[in-house]
Structure 1
């Protein structure tokens, strides 16, 4: 039966059969497989499905399968707990060809270390979207490169990239995060992974969001399909009515979205379980505050030799040292408030900024570290600036905010 847009609805069974066909046609060219897993719904459906299909004999067992979990250290709490539980389930299978690996960015490129230590402003969707690539995609690339170096041959990487119904209608595959329930950065792997070291396959690319949730809610938890504990994942997306909520999950207080849809949903649907996370709602306003000019430096308004302005001559740049210290204390305060409530209500604590990361942030301060091409001697962005011309003359202006 066709729907309003003329697209035939298919069942999970039909979706699964198409997935098997695509794997049979393509995956067997490679003996070593990797699953790039974010812990979100699409990549979790991919991961649990692939393991089920192998164990049930519907696709050939590879020589090795490595489930690489991208731990950003910023994921929504139930999502992070759910991923940890599933990692334990995979290890409990005790299969010689199946292993797990937690993939994390190096210390200096973790979200808070990069921002509060080095002074790089919070990411935004316009000119400075550094987070997805840095804390999710690049670490995965490095891990797959290391896998290639160890094995000595090209590996096959499975991703959770999936076409939504709108993408099917207009023939477009969205490669970045969207507001329609997509995993943050889910398509970036397809675009950025080095095809010299890995081939890439998206085995559920044809699945609809309803198929994904049918698999995660109905099939995957059954013993015959693996007995996967998807309860925390389902809560992270809003509970039993995930199809209606259609929440996009991402980092706690994600700076790239207008609303904390997933955080709001879990606190509303499960107040006794997750209401104590309320202080995390303070993160997004804090990121907005960080972008204000009063906390940042600015480049001098110089011109080129021909008298024309340099590119972006009055560029507003990094956080001042004072701002970094102020906002670090604010983050620590938010985390402490959550964890005091967690203790009071016997709930899991959060760990978005640990002692090791804090120590590295302080190291940046002590060593006067700044982003590339910045020295820390530049004026505040709120100070009046001087336009310097090639003849040495100067025009004093007030910086317009």
Structure 2
């Protein structure tokens, strides 16, 4: 680690006092950050994605704390990174290494900074929802992933801190230039006379955006920093580096905590304007589909230009991930939905689409699709595990799906509301594709299996009954057997029987026949009403009341 001599420290002082960021000296931004930090006892939660903006705000806060006396660093700063478990692999390594470096640097410099990673529960991850429950790949109109994978884990962390400290301040690297919509939301909730805004959804949480006015050049300017003297615990204005300073001293983008932003620059340098996916704290955050710091599985955008660019610039090993992502994306095509997805929704009903005609809702013969069919989920799981096997064989340290997620997917398949997996197929798939025999939990294995399932598939149609309905009825009985009180079982049986178990064609035909019958009855009623009206007119003419 390079140590700075007195001449170098003077260059730091000159830079912080003379270099301007959007018309203001860097020293002013440092002083503002220190003032907000010292104003109260509310702890800070810094949203850190590892991208340029969150790295810039992290650097600014780090320097602000370094510039305070030890006794003035009176409250904790929690650095929080959200891991959806489907982040771009190289970004995962970058974020993990950065968090370790920040925490080590803070410990060395006596700063009250700790780093934390939050992630969704194993039963609510991307794969648990998509492969397990059959949720379709996310789209702009059905972006189910954001709340489950990003907002909920971060909100839980913030709520935990609120419960301990009553109130918290969330520090974000949001910039008005980067996201106009985000800037408008924060401005709308700004507290008059302060630097803070009210959190849009979490009570007792506030937002602070110290680099809100910065341009992208300002961000890269502060990221081209040299490491401070590791023996110092207070810099007293000894900060930062400019482009010409970098050229003069060749300091290789070192961060104040000991990492290197050159890695960050390499991730961005061929990105064609693509940015980062910020810490998501509410649903106003736009999609990160084109971002280098988003999920590799993102199908909200039509094409993942970020991953394509990474592959074109030397990361060819990611090609299988791009192909898999494109397969998921194709399944969202309106022309292919009915091929991949069940006609029955997870509530057991077929939902017909409606149109508006003359301000009235008119039922059509078309319907909205439900979750992915089980056979498609099984195929998608096989493909994912095959890619994992390729990476394993190539000694590449990338985990595409975790063991807890596999257990969550298996649980969903066994208890699927429409297609219960009596074959218990996932353990076999994992063994065939990865050669692994995991410690599969016994308590969530159904009593019946493949042999019984095949028998029901043969017998049920002969009696005009859906095999899947019989399986769900048997599963219900099994789940409640041995209970002293079986309250509600008849209601549950009735609910299962009333679900739409027939094929889409049969349900549509039945619905059409019902509507035709209703129309015929309506016409008959109208005819009788007309006859009655005519009779009344005749009676009035005859003077008969």
What is the CA RMSD across the aligned residues, in angstroms? 3.8
**Alignment partner, residue 255 of structure 1:** 299
Structure 1 residues 39 and 382: CA distance shift in structure 2, 3 A? farther
The Cα offsets for residues 117-145 of structure 1, whole Å up to 9 and x where unpaired, read as 111111101x2012222211221011100
Q: Which moved more, 1:14-23 or 1:154-163?
A: 14-23
**Alignment partner, residue 205 of structure 1:** 212
Q: Is residue 2:357 matched to residue 1:320?
A: no
Check conservation: 1:295, 1:380, Cα contact below 8 A.
no
Alpha-carbon distance in structure 2 between the residues aligned to 1:44 and 1:381: 52
Q: Can you give the 5+ residue segments of structure 1 that lack an aligned partner in the other structure?
A: 1-8, 177-188, 396-401
Q: After TM superposition, give the deviation of residue 350 of structure 1 in Å.
A: 1.4
The structure whose RCO (Cα within 8 Å, separation 6+) is larger is 1
Q: After TM superposition, give the deviation of residue 22 of structure 1 in Å.
A: 4.6
Q: Is residue 2:151 matched to residue 1:137?
A: yes
The Cα offsets for residues 10-45 of structure 1, whole Å up to 9 and x where unpaired, read as 537937445435535644234311112222222222
List aligned pairs for 1:1-400, cutoff 5 A.
11=21, 14=24, 16-17=26-27, 19-20=29-30, 22-24=32-34, 26-27=36-37, 28-57=39-68, 61-93=73-105, 94=107, 95=110, 97-125=112-140, 127-151=141-165, 153-164=166-177, 167=180, 173=183, 192-194=200-202, 196-218=203-225, 225-237=256-268, 239=269, 248-249=291-292, 250-269=294-313, 271=314, 274-291=315-332, 292-298=337-343, 299-301=350-352, 309=362, 314-341=367-394, 343=395, 348-369=396-417, 385-386=508-509, 387-388=511-512, 393=517
Give the TM-score taking structure 1 as reference length. Answer: 0.75
Structure 1 residues 133 and 324: CA distance shift in structure 2, 3 A? same
Q: After TM superposition, give the deviation of residue 329 of structure 1 in Å.
A: 1.3
Alpha-carbon distance in structure 1 between the residues aligned to 2:514 and 2:506: 22
Alpha-carbon distance in structure 1 between the residues aligned to 2:407 and 2:170: 35
Please say which structure displays the higher CA radius of gyration.
2
Give the match's secondary structure for 1:99.
strand
Give the match's secondary structure for 1:200.
strand
Q: After TM superposition, give the deviation of residue 160 of structure 1 in Å.
A: 1.8
Alpha-carbon distance in structure 1 between the residues aligned to 2:273 and 2:127: 33
Alpha-carbon distance in structure 2 between the residues aligned to 1:286 and 1:231: 34
Q: After TM superposition, give the deviation of residue 257 of structure 1 in Å.
A: 1.9
Give the match's secondary structure for 2:401.
coil
Alpha-carbon distance in structure 2 between the residues aligned to 1:362 and 1:283: 21
Structure 1 residues 13 and 20: CA distance shift in structure 2, 3 A? farther
Q: Number of matched residues?
A: 354
Structure 1 residues 351 and 172: CA distance shift in structure 2, 3 A? closer
Structure 1 residues 149 and 172: CA distance shift in structure 2, 3 A? closer
Q: Which moved more, 1:58-67 or 1:276-285?
A: 58-67
**Alignment partner, residue 468 of structure 2:** none
**Alignment partner, residue 249 of structure 2:** none
Give the TM-score taking structure 2 as reference length. Answer: 0.57
Check conservation: 1:294, 1:381, Cα contact below 8 A.
no
